[in-house]
Structure 1
Amino acid sequence: MASDQISDEELSGPVVDRRTTTKLLAAAGLGGLAGCAGGGGGDATTAASETSEASSTDGNEESTDVATDTPSGDVRGGRLQAGWFTGSIDNLDPPYIGVGQYFQVAANVFSGLVTLNEDLTVRGDLANDWTVENDGATFVFDLREGVTFHDGSAFTAEDVRYTIDRTISQETPAAAKLSSLQPVDDGGVVVDGDYSVTLNFEEPLAPALIYLSRGPGRAATIVSQEAIEEMGAEQYAVEPVGTGPFEVAEHSVGSELVLDAYDDYFETDEEGTALPYLDGVTITPIPEPSSIVNALRSGDIQFANLVPLQNVSQVSDASEVDLLQAPGVNWNGLAMNQTREPFGSRQVRRGIAKLIDTEQFVETAYFGNALAAAGPINAATAWVYREDKPDDQAYAPEEGKQLLEDAGAAGASFSLLTTESDLRAAQAMRQQLNSAGLDVEIEQVTSSTYWDRTDKSNRDFDVTVIGSVGDPDPEQSLWNFYRKDGPWNYVDYQNDEVHQLLGEQRSQLDRDARAETLQELEGLLIADTPHAYLSHQDDLAAMRTEVGGFTHVPYMRNFHTVSLDE
């Protein structure tokens, strides 16, 4: 067992301290978040020692409190007007979400068994407390009583069991998080009354608490069985029912999403004041870069979930607007669909990669507001990142042209699928490839059409610029992109050795051993070139100065502590 193995006592509730949580984040492939929490403006305060002390002194009740300043009476209430940099928000059913921007909305509607404070301590969410046994293989959760879903139905342990069983049995993208759980009906999930549930894993899984928390890509964001059965899965994906701080009041896909404060939400702030502070949030999809920035500058919206990289300077220079910036834990690449010729050839894919000047791509596509990538693992996850990556994809245009000629693909013609929000990146890519002798056309479609066509059930595209949004490591990113049957394996990448290494690194709780495996894995991916790796982008959001209480954790957009000045 590794010397830094986390003990059952360290993992048990009602709060897990920052040092232990940092280890959990690293084991979960979220190590970069450990240095990214907090900041980002607003009035939210971080009180790690106070939160931990209160939780250990006063027990379960205190763990519902959120460390934040209580707004005065003249700023409580109001409706936040938010713009989302996308054409539509198509799916809010947690285990099925594969788009980072959708997760950002869903985290305001749902709860997890546990959640993360601003200072990265793990605390209870729907769980009051928990104990860990069997060296991290068994988790026993005591659940909150009196919690209700937005439709008024009671939350119980059966909802936890249903959520986990649905996530796994329906082979959702989130199911990978729980792949080592024992079979649900054979000891994996044991319900003991209405407010106690035990999860038993086949082997110790230290990051289980991270996977069971509220947030993007989590595996046990609790859904309502009653609502799903009554509404049907299709309607639930549009207007879901959760236990979170906001409920979906209206959702016209592609037009407007209205969230209202849920009056019976269970969390309070440190003063005992009910959360959320806002009356609600109205979210408008805005896919055109200049439009979302102009709306923010004019005050038509007060919050932008993303800032188009080509518009960063406009936002930075705007009066009464704050740019929010956090290190990005992501990667972006040119995905080449291996079910279509000539992309089934590794030689062709590598040849195309060598035609791309990533530094120039970043300058042209993003006005320099990103870092050129040599592989999928970026510097935010410092424990595994290395500067000296293999150079199989390094810019070498003459060598790239020769590889294509030898493969019979010189002058190949194909289309690059994109949406309006990513059009500039697509244009920058087309310019470079066409200048190198290829014949590339851009095919622009709506966001809904894009995700339908890139889905692995269709794979109706030649190439596209795509990548990981909020986690560059295997548990949410590499695991889902490059496993043979991975839910985000858009390019139909099949490699036995990569598949084996992906499984191997998941059980390595020793960070050094896991880093070595991940670096070997990254080397294989760079050589095989399922993607020509392009960039790592910082996480950029923006808000007007009247918005307070927002804490910027990368790729999270939680509004339960947000308030508005008059």
Structure 2
Amino acid sequence: MCSRLMADTDKPTDEQLSGPVVDRRTTMSLLGAAGLGAIAGCTGGGGGDGDSDETTAGSDDGGDTTTADEGAPSMGGRLKAGWFTGSIDELDPAFISVGQFFQLAGNVFSGLTKLGPDLEIVGDLAEDWEVTDGGKTFTFQLRDDVTFHNGVEFTAEDVKYTINRTISEEAPAASKLSSLQPIEEGGVEVVGDYEVTLRWEEANVTSLVYLTRGPGRAATIVSKEAIEEMGSDEYSVTPVGTGPFEVTGHDVGSSVTLDAYDDYFETDEDGNSLPYLDGIDVQPIPEPSSIVNALRSGDIHFANMVPLQNLSQLESDSAANADRAPGINWYGLAMNQDREPFGSRQVRRGMAKIIDNERFVETAYFGNALPDTGPINKGTGWVWRDDKPSDQDFALEEGMSMLEDAGAADASFSILTAESSLRQAKAMRQQLNERGLDVDVEQVTSSTYWTRYEEGDYDVTISGSVIDPDPEQSLWNFYRLPDEGGVWNWVNYQSQEAHDLLAEQRAETDRDARRDLLHELEDTLIADAPHAYLVHQDDIAGVRQEVGGFKHLSGLRNFHQVYLDE
């Protein structure tokens, strides 16, 4: 049934898209159109054993991978969590550009909608909604029992404020709102305290999926009062949301403290208040062996990521497990086109062709990744293809000849990296030095890394998209022109063709036609090589046996139904 639903190209009707529940069949079609097919369990399991269960793998948190004994959840206790990074610098959802920060902030905020346990779109802050005008107008009826963590009541004005702030401050999430009508011309209309209407310039059947709960998404609601009182800098560190946990402490680089929000509005199916936990104590742990040793010893209950070089330790451990979900991401060698010799397309393509991706997967990822020469991942099965253009295929002699002709066969440059990706940087350096290039690794702290990357103060680095499961979401911010929406275009890629194709595919509601446009876009990117595309990495978390209720959706770490059975 799953493959048949995903093959549907019929545009859902306004009635099918309206609330309070969008049925499973329609949601499956929307997920396919949005590239979220892996969430639906159609491309392999979301759990640690690799099973694909259509009933659970597409819930708000993914497949049920509970490790504690099933039964009534235990109430109370504090989850000790390790985050595989040097620091957690940004928790304001509109401005997060680092996947690991997304994972934590998702427990602090709510969206207008979310995905329910049976793959239906259900309300989060919205109780009901109506879609009219051929999919261009969405009117949401909002809950009237929600407060922010500062005690201020949530109303429709907060929806308008959130969207207006995201657009006016040109936050990364603004790209998801580019087809919204101008706000003051009816794009967002507050109809009443608990009713708000969104109007789009053109129909987009996937827009309802993009309004689901998730950090970095367009309708992750923030608190106007808190931002005005605290200021943006403080809010970015200790934000105020309406989610199950509130930030009660944040010492950047040392710890984040989340406490259960007593007035959180959601309950479980038995009417019990959520969350089950009293709180979560998060410790950044950038050293690979340290985070795994802490998990095995019980110093932490949960690791948001498992360093691949230590994965085998968990696979043989009786007290802690490696929990896998399909990787909906891409990673590549980002080449700064403002630094010589990477302004030359011939050099960038030559670089791509001298990299052996299969060898790189074995040395850098211990085989836990899929080598690839393009950015569209296998999780988005409706647009994935094995027969991508050969412009970046490994061909050592051809690649070296291209570099020699461009005068770059002995180029000297550095790979910028933080500790969390040091192994990948060293594996890349080894290959490139073997080719006669003069390459070194420059390791910096996590915060310094992101500052320098965003400011273009680097030669090359290994980076990519880590959470966005729709092809547009993983490409739009990276490859739009830098001054026209490419907020993560830190390689300074200048292609009007790619820019226009991104806009064209966004407006295309027929999935087959959109797939063709995305293939044309991927062809362009592979040929221009703003990145030498490398891999799609598996998403692996570490979970101790006493942790129950964790449901793994690739890229996210949601804890509102997690409990401890100690």
* TM-score between both structures, scaled by the size of structure 1: 0.93
3-state DSSP of counterpart to 2:552? coil
Question: For residue 541 of structure 1, what is the aligned residue in structure 2?
Answer: 541
Question: For residue 277 of structure 1, what is the aligned residue in structure 2?
Answer: 276
1:200-239 equivalent positions in 2, closer than 5 A: 200-239=199-238
In 1: Cα distance, 2:469 partner to 2:389 partner: 18
Give the 3 Å change call, closer, same or farther, for CA 496–442 of structure 1 in structure 2.
same
2:412, 2:439 within 8 Å by CA — same for their partners in 1? Answer: yes
In 1: Cα distance, 2:148 partner to 2:181 partner: 28
In 1: Cα distance, 2:380 partner to 2:35 partner: 8
Tell me whether 1:19 sits opposite 2:10 in the alignment.
no
Tell me whether 1:90 sits opposite 2:89 in the alignment.
yes
3-state DSSP of counterpart to 2:392? coil
Q: Deviation at 1:375?
A: 0.7
Question: For residue 416 of structure 2, what is the aligned residue in structure 1?
Answer: 417
Give the 3 Å change call, closer, same or farther, for CA 261–395 of structure 1 in structure 2.
same
Cα deviation, 1:481-525, whole Å, max 9, x if unaligned, reads 111131111100011111111111001111111111111111111
Tell me whether 1:558 sits opposite 2:555 in the alignment.
no
2:46, 2:324 within 8 Å by CA — same for their partners in 1? Answer: no
Matched residue type, 2:16: E
Q: Deviation at 1:461?
A: 0.4
In 2: Cα distance, 1:337 partner to 1:166 partner: 30
In 1: Cα distance, 2:73 partner to 2:528 partner: 59
In 2: Cα distance, 1:46 partner to 1:418 partner: 38
Q: Deviation at 1:397?
A: 1.3
In 2: Cα distance, 1:314 partner to 1:320 partner: 11
Question: For residue 479 of structure 1, what is the aligned residue in structure 2?
Answer: 476
1:107, 1:215 within 8 Å by CA — same for their partners in 2? Answer: yes
In 2: Cα distance, 1:72 partner to 1:397 partner: 57
Match of 1:7 among 13, 32, 48: 13
Q: Deviation at 1:29?
A: 3.2
Question: For residue 114 of structure 1, what is the aligned residue in structure 2?
Answer: 113
1:280-295 equivalent positions in 2, closer than 5 A: 280-295=279-294
Tell me whether 1:193 sits opposite 2:199 in the alignment.
no
1:26-41 equivalent positions in 2, closer than 5 A: 26-35=32-41, 39-40=47-48
1:100-249 equivalent positions in 2, closer than 5 A: 100-249=99-248
Structure 1 unmatched ranges of 5 or more:
52-65
Q: Deviation at 1:34?
A: 2.2
In 1: Cα distance, 2:118 partner to 2:48 partner: 13
Matched residue type, 2:34: A
1:510-549 equivalent positions in 2, closer than 5 A: 510-549=510-549
Give the 3 Å change call, closer, same or farther, for CA 357–277 of structure 1 in structure 2.
same
In 2: Cα distance, 1:270 partner to 1:71 partner: 15
Cα deviation, 1:235-285, whole Å, max 9, x if unaligned, reads 000000000000001000110000000000000011111000000011111
Q: Deviation at 1:70?
A: 12
Q: Deviation at 1:32?
A: 2.8
Q: Deviation at 1:19?
A: 2.2
In 1: Cα distance, 2:336 partner to 2:498 partner: 18
2:380, 2:471 within 8 Å by CA — same for their partners in 1? Answer: no
Give the 3 Å change call, closer, same or farther, for CA 414–180 of structure 1 in structure 2.
same
Give the 3 Å change call, closer, same or farther, for CA 29–388 of structure 1 in structure 2.
same
Question: For residue 441 of structure 1, what is the aligned residue in structure 2?
Answer: 440
Q: Deviation at 1:18?
A: 2.3
3-state DSSP of counterpart to 1:323? strand
3-state DSSP of counterpart to 2:40? helix
Tell me whether 1:509 sits opposite 2:509 in the alignment.
yes
Q: Deviation at 1:542?
A: 1.6
In 1: Cα distance, 2:293 partner to 2:354 partner: 36
Give the 3 Å change call, closer, same or farther, for CA 117–46 of structure 1 in structure 2.
farther
In 1: Cα distance, 2:139 partner to 2:70 partner: 36
1:142, 1:196 within 8 Å by CA — same for their partners in 2? Answer: yes
Tell me whether 1:329 sits opposite 2:332 in the alignment.
no
Q: Deviation at 1:26?
A: 2.8
Q: Deviation at 1:289?
A: 1.1
3-state DSSP of counterpart to 1:344? coil
Cα deviation, 1:174-200, whole Å, max 9, x if unaligned, reads 001111100011100110121000001
In 1: Cα distance, 2:200 partner to 2:73 partner: 49
In 2: Cα distance, 1:106 partner to 1:119 partner: 24
Cα deviation, 1:356-408, whole Å, max 9, x if unaligned, reads 00000111111111111121112111111111111111111111111111111
1:473, 1:479 within 8 Å by CA — same for their partners in 2? Answer: no
Structure 2 unmatched ranges of 5 or more:
1-7
Q: Deviation at 1:120?
A: 2.7
Tell me whether 1:99 sits opposite 2:98 in the alignment.
yes
Matched residue type, 1:215: G
My pick for the range that moved more, 270-279 or 391-400, is 391-400
Question: For residue 428 of structure 1, what is the aligned residue in structure 2?
Answer: 427
Q: Deviation at 1:47?
A: 6.6
Give the 3 Å change call, closer, same or farther, for CA 243–558 of structure 1 in structure 2.
same
Give the 3 Å change call, closer, same or farther, for CA 472–352 of structure 1 in structure 2.
farther
1:90, 1:238 within 8 Å by CA — same for their partners in 2? Answer: yes
1:211, 1:218 within 8 Å by CA — same for their partners in 2? Answer: yes
Give the 3 Å change call, closer, same or farther, for CA 13–562 of structure 1 in structure 2.
same
Q: Aligned residues, how many? A: 543
In 2: Cα distance, 1:492 partner to 1:450 partner: 17
Q: Deviation at 1:3?
A: 5.4
Give the 3 Å change call, closer, same or farther, for CA 118–343 of structure 1 in structure 2.
farther
My pick for the range that moved more, 362-371 or 15-24, is 15-24
Cα deviation, 1:509-561, whole Å, max 9, x if unaligned, reads 11111111111111111111100011111111120010001111111111000
Give the 3 Å change call, closer, same or farther, for CA 189–361 of structure 1 in structure 2.
same
Matched residue type, 2:491: V
Question: For residue 60 of structure 1, what is the aligned residue in structure 2?
Answer: none
Q: Deviation at 1:46?
A: 9.0
